């Protein structure tokens, strides 16, 4: 691990991703909940299960439902990836003292690639009313290198104007992100070289990282050095830019075609996901190192009862 991560919060900062998921489970007219365009939605993740690239990921088991009323015991059958960026905090704020949005960049140490593995069938059953829990807490993978804002400065890009206008504490005078090319590569036991199933970019975020810091601390919540904030899945507007298999297979209604004839909707045992990110400069490249994890079979039931 490049740093000791004491605490972890995951946000939902890509409007394209939030809209896609909303369309799957509601409809385009109500895809975004009323609060989404007014604040960066987040949930408290689990720091203890964040692992560095190369660590195998065990398929989880838990409760799922077929009829939306009755639970059954099952392994996760809809294991997914989430293409994200992680922000490492490098400066603490005292309890009770919020960070102003236009000072928030001073609190950023650097960035990593982040795969927030997701058990979608566990998530559907558990998330009402308090959001994800077991569907997310079993593992998240980060890349081994922390890339500083100074290194990324040449690649800063403006984010689109936010509409409606946000409350004053979220009005970022330097509303921006970075032009980081992101890639999702799927390897299978019969396709060890891998195949790119999605490309995206950090510039597709709606909320800036300073806005997530300001919102996180607006109540006086204290962030500590080494804490990590996840961006949430980063998706573009085109299908090949969707940052999760949930979107790529559109909730299981479509298939992802691989060049060796295999098909996927969600991840199978033995599959590996590699996230890659790089910035192309004039004669140089800044990379993050691979963010990779391979899926291990679920434990047998003797480990549970």
- Can you read off the two tokens belonging to residue 46? 């689990």
Is 17 assigned a catalytic role? yes
Q: Which residues have CB under 8 Å from 100's CB, separation 6+?
A: 169, 214
Check 17, 107, 215, 216 and give the catalytic one.
17
Contacts of residue 201, Cβ cutoff 8 Å, sequence gap at least 6: 179, 180, 181, 182, 234, 236, 241
The answer to whether 64 touches 72, Cβ cutoff 8 Å, is yes
Q: Which string of DSSP letters, residue by residue, matches 122-191?
A: HHHHH-TTT--SHHHHT-EEE-S-PBPHHHHGGGEEEPPPPSSPPPGGG--TT-EEE--EEEEEEEETTE
Q: Is 114 helix (H, G, I), strand (E, B) or coil?
A: strand
Give dist(CA 235, CA 237) in Å, integer.
7
3-state secondary structure of 294: strand
Residues belonging to the active site: 17
């Amino acid at each position: 691990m490049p740093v000791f991560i004491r605490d972890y919060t995951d946000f939902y900062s890509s409007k394209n991703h939030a809209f896609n998921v909303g369309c799957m489970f509601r409809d385009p007219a109500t895809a975004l909940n009323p609060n989404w365009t007014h604040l960066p939605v987040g949930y408290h993740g689990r720091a203890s299960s964040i692992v560095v690239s190369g660590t195998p990921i065990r398929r989880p088991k838990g409760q799922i439902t077929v009829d939306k009323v009755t639970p059954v015991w099952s392994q996760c059958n809809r294991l997914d990836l989430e293409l994200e960026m992680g922000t490492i905090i490098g400066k603490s704020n005292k309890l009770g003292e919020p960070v102003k949005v236009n000072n928030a960049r001073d609190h950023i140490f650097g960035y990593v690639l982040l795969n927030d593995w997701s058990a979608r069938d566990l998530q559907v059953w558990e998330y009402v009313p308090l959001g994800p829990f077991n569907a997310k807490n079993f593992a998240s993978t980060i890349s081994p290198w922390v890339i500083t804002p100074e290194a990324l400065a040449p690649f800063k890009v403006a984010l689109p104007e936010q509409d409606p206008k946000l409350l004053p504490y979220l009005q970022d005078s330097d509303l921006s992100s970075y032009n980081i090319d992101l890639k999702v590569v799927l390897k299978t036991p019969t396709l060890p070289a891998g195949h790119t199933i999605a490309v995206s970019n950090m510039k597709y975020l709606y909320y800036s990282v300073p806005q997530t810091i300001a919102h996180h601390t607006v109540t006086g919540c204290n962030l500590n050095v080494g804490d990590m904030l996840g961006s949430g899945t980063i998706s573009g507007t085109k299908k090949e830019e969707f940052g999760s298999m949930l979107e790529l297979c559109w909730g299981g209604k479509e298939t992802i075609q691989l060049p060796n004839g295999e098909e996927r909707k969600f991840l199978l045992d033995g599959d590996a996901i590699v996230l890659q990110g790089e910035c192309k400069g004039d004669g140089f490249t800044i990379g993050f190192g691979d963010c990779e994890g391979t899926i291990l079979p679920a434990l047998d039931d003797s480990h549970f009862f």
